[in-house]
Amino acid sequence: MPHTTSPATASVSATAPTAADLLDFARAAAADRDLVARLPLDPEGRSWIRLEGPGGAEAWLIGWPPGAETGWHDHGGSYGVFVTAAGELTEQSLAVPIPTEGWRALELADGVDRERILPEGGGRAFGRGHVHQVVNRSGSVHAVSVHAYYPPLPLIRRYSRQGATLRLELVERPEEW
């Protein structure tokens, strides 16, 4: 059963969890009604609880008020998963890998945009080069989701998007979130 922990107490396993392991963990955590009920829901912004993921993975239970979104970002070279525990989330992503270094702006080709709607119980895994944003499009219902990443997030790159132009705006390190 997942439980809360601080980043300092999370251990790293000698055997890395697979994406399937992370997805199994996230599905089990999302189905844990007691765990989901412990998350305080903030009407103004996202809320979260750190979870102990499998094999040293970083994991989070996240609350999304109506209209909340992440903005475009990647996971600094980690692979990961997320599963909707309550409500519905929409993921917008790019179907192509992008370089992680040496650029400030990229012009995206036609046809690279993808969109997935993840209702309660819906989830997905993604690879190391995944760029996306997640949105709660509901005007009235909170959403809750479980996220897991391996290795633990070394950084998050944040992007802005205007039409077909993706621009690197900020690189965040763990001590900043």
pLDDT digits (tens, 9 = 90+) for 144-153: 999 999 999 9
What's the pLDDT at 100?
A: 84
Q: Say which amino acid occupies 136.
A: N
* Lookup result for tokens 């059963």: 1
Query: Considering the entire predicted model, what is its pTM?
Result: 0.89
> How do the domains of the chain map onto residue ranges?
12-176
85: closest CA among 30, 38, 27?
30
At 177, the pLDDT band (50, 70, 90 cuts) reads confident
Distance CA 113, CA 166 (A): 12
Distance CA 90, CA 101 (A): 28
Please, which residues have CB within 8 angstroms of residue 50's CB and are 6 or more apart in sequence?
Answer: 4, 5, 6, 7, 58, 59, 60
Span 12-51, pLDDT tens digits: 446 899 999 999 999 999 999 999 999 999 999 999 999 9
What's the pLDDT at 5?
A: 40
Q: What's the average model confidence in pLDDT over 81-108?
A: 95
CATH number for region 12-176: 2.60.120.10
**pLDDT above 70: residue 3:** no
Q: What's the average model confidence in pLDDT over 94-114?
A: 94
